[in-house]
Amino acid sequence: MQWTLAVPLKPLARAKSRLADTADDGVRPGLALAFALDTVAAALACAAVHDVVVVTDDPLAGRELAALGARIVPDGPAADPATDPADGLNAALRHAAALARTARPYAPVATLNADLPALRPDELARVLGAAAAFPRAFLADAAGTGTTLLAAAPGRALRPAFGPGSRRGHRRSGAVELVLDDVDSVRQDVDTGDDLRAALCLGVGPRTAAAAARLLIPGQ
Ligand SMILES: Nc1nc2c(ncn2[C@@H]2O[C@H](COP(=O)(O)OP(=O)(O)OP(=O)(O)O)[C@@H](O)[C@H]2O)c(=O)[nH]1
Ligand SMILES: C=C(OP(=O)(O)O)C(=O)O
């Protein structure tokens, strides 16, 4: 089974705000772009992935990710922030999933965060292989409260519920939590300086390695 992946990416100038103590305003957008490029490059190299749709309103990121082979779509209409606190992100994912389904109606669809710079294609293939057994499934992030991947079988709506505490939200929505060994690279999202150090220990892709080297992170 070959998947379409929808990867959401915030405009770079606003992305990765929780990394402000590790990377200042001048370098953070470049770091967020490096994470996204390494994430998407690894996803495109995964044997279980047919195509990657990046949903972003950022023109520079759009150009660079398109050059890797991703399809770029804009965020689309936002939902009502009163009913959905992660308004922008979940609306963007619903929009991307709908476009993906138009292009490939019988394909399974999964979302993957753009901040997984240590992502390994073989580990992603293992997660997608496990997800294929369920109508909807998800993988918790390394911190244990969020979600890095949400998957839906052909004909099933994704129903993304990303945002603070999304692990619990996805569980409550009926999605099956995937509990797998040796898929750390798919779970290690980077929100904080500690997350970045953990990702560097796992081994990041070349763009993140170069960007992180410029930050002179102790222990590198
Ligand atoms: N297209 C799109 N992607 C989003 C939006 N909000 C968040 N994302 C992406 O969703 C994933 C998880 O987002 P967060 O961790 O909440 O946001 P972040 O920019 O990565 O980090 P913080 O600013 O520290 O919250 C990342 O890949 C983000 O780029 C949005 O409004 N639109
Ligand atoms: C939006 C999410 O990501 P993060 O943990 O990076 O905020 C989430 O896990 O639902």
Of 35, 71, 89, which is best to mutate to test ligand 1, by the most ligand atoms within 8 angstroms of its C-beta?
89
List the beta strands (DSSP E) in 57-163: 71-73, 109-112, 136-140, 147-152
What whole-number distance in Å separates Cα of residue 200 and Cα of residue 219?
Answer: 10
Asked if the structure places residue 76 within a domain, the reply is: yes
Written as six digits, the tokens of 156 are 């099933």
Asked if the structure places residue 147 within a domain, the reply is: yes
Asked if the structure places residue 155 within a domain, the reply is: yes
Asked if the structure places residue 109 within a domain, the reply is: yes
pLDDT, one tens digit per residue, over 48-61 is 999 999 999 999 99
* Buried/exposed code over 72-87 (b: 16+ C-beta within 10 A; e: otherwise): bbebbeebeeeebebe
Written as six digits, the tokens of 15 are 């992305």
Residues of the chain with pLDDT > 70, as a percent, come to 94
| Ligand 2 nearest atom to the CA of residue 189, by list position | 6
Contact 115, 32 (CB under 8 A): yes
Number of domains in the chain: 1
CATH number (domain holding residue 119): 3.90.550.10
Please name the residue whose Cα sits nearest to atom 12 of ligand 1.
Answer: 113
What whole-number distance in Å separates Cα of residue 56 and Cα of residue 139?
Answer: 22
Domain range for 13 is: 3-215
Tell me the pLDDT of the chain averaged across its residues.
Answer: 93
Ligand 1 within 6 A of CB of 56: yes
Asked if the structure places residue 220 within a domain, the reply is: no
pLDDT, one tens digit per residue, over 59-102 is 999 999 999 999 999 997 765 555 555 678 999 999 999 999 99
Asked if the structure places residue 105 within a domain, the reply is: yes
- Give the Cβ contact number of residue 121 at 10 Å: 17
